[in-house]
Amino acid sequence: MQHVPTDARQAEWHPLPLDNHPGSRSISDDDLCAWCNHLCYRPGERSLCRLAEEEGHWPACFDPDGYAQSCAELRLIFTLPQ
């Protein structure tokens, strides 16, 4: 999996359910996508990458277990300096 820096944070919860949206998938909180600004994140439910194609193809490369290991479009979310 691509390295996630210590000052990165997970995506905020997306306010609307995405169960019926084509291309939505289950994303674990330790998945690379959970740290990306492109993710409409619904922990425990189905989430959606804003860059997913209409056919449901995400830009990430997934391993056989379904975890994102790398993504050319990854945009990590960083904690704001205090």
Q: What is the pLDDT of residues 23-82, one digit of tens each?
A: 899 998 888 999 999 999 999 999 999 999 878 899 999 999 988 999 999 999 997 654
Q: What pLDDT was estimated at residue 59?
A: 95
Strand pairing class (77-78; 68-71): unpaired
Closest of 45, 27, 44 to residue 36, by C-alpha = 27
Domain boundary assignment for the chain: 1-82
- As a whole number of angstroms, the distance between CA 51 and CA 38 comes to 7
Q: At 14, is the pLDDT very low, low, confident or very high (cuts 50, 70, 90)?
A: very high
